[in-house]
A and B are shown apart, each in its own frame.
Chain A
Amino acid sequence: MSGIDWAVLLGTLGLIVGYGTYMTRKSAGLEGYLKGGSDMKWLTIGLSVMATQASAITFISTPGLAYENGMEFIQNYFGLPIAILIVCVVFIPIYYRLKVYTAYEYLEQRFDVRIRLITASLFMLSRGLAAGITIYAPAIIISVMLGWSLELTILLVGILVIVYTVSGGTKAVSLTQKWQMTVILLGMGIAFGILLNRMPEEVSFLGALDLAGASGRMNVVDFSFDFSKRYTFWSGITGGLFLALSYFGTDQSQVQRYLSGKSIKESRLGLLFNALLKIPMQFMILLTGVLVFVFYQFEAHPVLFNKAAVQTAQESKYKAEFQDIENQHQQFHKEKKAAYLDYARQPTDAKKETLLALDKKAKSVRDQAREVVLKADPDQSSRDSDYVFLTFILNYLPQGLVGLLIAVIISAAMSSTAGEINALSSTTMVDFYQRFSKTEKSDTQSVNLSKWLTLGWGILAIIFALSAQLVENLIEAVNILGSVFYGTILGVFLTAFFLKKVGSRAVFTGIIVGQLTVFVLFYYEAVGYLWFNVIGCAIVMIVSYITSIFSSKPEQS
């Protein structure tokens, strides 16, 4: 990175952190610290909700996914608008009516303290681990590509987040997220424009889409009932619906964002902003990845984008084998480039078949290279697609914009981590400390304690991120861990809302049976982990309902 890039990067991050800290320097009491003074407008809430969900991995991995497999991942978000409508109609009015600070408070009012603590603990376990990964995942990629120290990258992101989240609480998180999201959208828009501008003269925007389609990358929606496919329209609006409903309705890192609204109207509009814009945003990110794919059909690139993986192979006894594959890839690239230019000038069905065959061969060459890397070091990550977009940024963006795009990635990491540690400290404070503390604390003392809790969760996230490198496939592990508990939590909330006759004893039985079933499914790898959300939720509701019918004593709910 050049001096200008460093200036843009540090200037952008410094301004956002400084702004968040300065604007919230005056203490506004516990209500202000945990709920941001309940004066947020819909746009701030909308951007804040969006920024909490969009982690750095969204902007690094998603274009890589599209590069590798096309647009199909968009279907994962098809359940989101419907889930948000359910949250607006069912969840928000209840949270407002009961004036809760955390989603779990409601469960004590509806059931008892035991159910509140179980769900709050499940949230803290899964979200606490996720906060570490939110920092670790982009840090490992940035450190490999820019040659930075992994530990220093983790510390940089972690400490910046802690500074404004501890000092200003929820309001600082929301205010900084608004600007972080602005920087993110601006940076991604500029990258998209530059990508189009750098295509060969023969390739227009529509021509690029045509080339992507001919290579099987414009597979946006698939209505087939094939359950072996990971992403279809149907899996999106069923599995995706449950995942989004659990996330937006019961995950405190999101609930806290929209409960900071000035009124129920602002909260709802903030969420509807996401219902309208989340899918188009993901579409544009995936389309950027597809255009990167088209771009690299005309520009030479290494067989693998992960520099650390390439270095591992080159320094091993498999060096000659890897070099052979690299030469094969470079030779093959010339053939591919000629075929793509030929198709761009005059597309025909026969030429399309040739492009599909060439893409298949290109994937096979990349797979061979990955196998050599794994032979050289079985612990080396073979996931190469995460490095595709960053390679494009570093090699083809002009000075200054590289710094801006790195700021985009770090901003995204900071915004989601801030939302998470802010929510974790609120849950610890409200659902555990305040619930069980026998001593009356002043407002200032409570705010100070909340600040210490935020600091504690921030440090835990950093420690977890620093030790995450010891475990392979941790990102996937944490995603699975989230799905293992999300279904149960959602099941408890939906039982509370819709099964009015079910009491605490019945729902407790439901939680035990539901969670044990998901554990068994997880242990035997019986179904894809997205289905844990649906199955866990359904079992909690069904078992709770049946138990309540057969329960001999009527329960007080």
Chain B
Amino acid sequence: MVENKAKETDDNTNWKAWYGFVILFFAIQVGFYAWLTEFFS
């Protein structure tokens, strides 16, 4: 097998903040879609 050049080590990115942002953005979208459904029904 040839050598895999990709770095396996992690970095100092704040992943918890990223994951929290993804969940928050998803929750905001669901709220917006619920509002759209209600408003235009």
Interface residues of A, Cβ cutoff 8 Å to B: 29-31, 35, 37-39, 71, 74, 78, 81-82, 84-85, 88-89, 93, 96-97, 99, 101, 209-210, 212-214, 218-223, 233, 259, 261-265, 268-269, 272, 275-276, 279-280, 283, 434, 443
Shortest beta-carbon distance from B26 to chain A in Å: 5
A259 to B1, CA, bound (A): 16
- Which residues of A sit under 8 angstroms from B8, Cβ to Cβ? 96-97, 99, 264
Q: Which of B2, B10, B30, B33 is within 8 Å of A264, CB to CB?
A: B10
Q: Which of A29, A74, A209 is within 8 Å of B33, CB to CB?
A: A74
- Is the Cβ of B29 less than 8 Å from the Cβ of A279? yes
Shortest beta-carbon distance from B27 to chain A in Å: 10
Offer 26 A-B interface pairs, CB within 8 angstroms, sorted by A: A29-B2, A31-B2, A35-B6, A37-B5, A89-B19, A93-B10, A96-B8, A99-B4, A99-B6, A99-B8, A101-B1, A209-B40, A212-B40, A220-B34, A220-B37, A221-B33, A221-B37, A222-B37, A264-B8, A264-B10, A265-B11, A265-B13, A268-B13, A275-B22, A279-B26, A283-B29
Shortest beta-carbon distance from B10 to chain A in Å: 6
- Is the Cβ of B6 less than 8 Å from the Cβ of A96? yes
Chain B 1-41 interface residues, beta-carbon cutoff 8 Å to A = 1-11, 13, 15, 18-19, 22-23, 25-26, 29-30, 33-34, 36-37, 39-41
Q: Which of B1, B11, B19, B34 is within 8 Å of A88, CB to CB?
A: B19
A264 to B9, CA, bound (A): 7
Given A223-B34, A269-B18, 7 extra CB contacts under 8 A: A39-B5, A96-B8, A99-B4, A99-B6, A99-B8, A221-B34, A272-B18
- Which residues of A sit under 8 angstroms from B18, Cβ to Cβ? 268-269, 272
Shortest beta-carbon distance from B25 to chain A in Å: 6
Q: Which of A78, A213, A263, A272 is within 8 Å of B40, CB to CB?
A: A213
A242 to B4, CA, bound (A): 30
A338 to B10, CA, bound (A): 63
- Which residues of A sit under 8 angstroms from B22, Cβ to Cβ? 81, 84-85, 272, 275-276
- Is the Cβ of A263 less than 8 Å from the Cβ of B11? yes
A289 to B8, CA, bound (A): 43
- Which residues of B sit under 8 angstroms from A212, Cβ to Cβ? 40
- Which residues of B sit under 8 angstroms from A264, Cβ to Cβ? 6-11
A-B Cβ contacts below 8 A, count: 98
- Is the Cβ of A221 less than 8 Å from the Cβ of B30? yes
- Is the Cβ of B6 less than 8 Å from the Cβ of A81? no
Does more than half of chain A's interface fall in helix, strand or loop, or is it mixed? helix
A84 to B25, CA, bound (A): 14
- Is the Cβ of B37 less than 8 Å from the Cβ of A218? yes
- Which residues of B sit under 8 angstroms from A82, Cβ to Cβ? 23, 26
Q: Which of B6, B13, B15, B40 is within 8 Å of A38, CB to CB?
A: B6
- Is the Cβ of A220 less than 8 Å from the Cβ of B7? no
- Is the Cβ of B30 less than 8 Å from the Cβ of A213? no
Shortest beta-carbon distance from A308 to chain B in Å: 35
- Which residues of B sit under 8 angstroms from A259, Cβ to Cβ? 6
Name the residue of chain B whose CB is nearest to the CB of A89.
Answer: B19
A268 to B13, CA, bound (A): 11
- Which residues of A sit under 8 angstroms from B36, Cβ to Cβ? 209, 218, 220
A388 to B15, CA, bound (A): 43
A1 to B1, CA, bound (A): 50
- Which residues of B sit under 8 angstroms from A218, Cβ to Cβ? 36-37, 40-41
A371 to B38, CA, bound (A): 35
Name the residue of chain A whose CB is nearest to the CB of B30.
Answer: A221
- Which residues of B sit under 8 angstroms from A99, Cβ to Cβ? 4, 6, 8
Shortest beta-carbon distance from B3 to chain A in Å: 7
- Is the Cβ of A38 less than 8 Å from the Cβ of B5? yes
Given contacts A268-B15, A279-B26, contact A38 B2 (CB under 8 A): no
Shortest beta-carbon distance from B7 to chain A in Å: 4
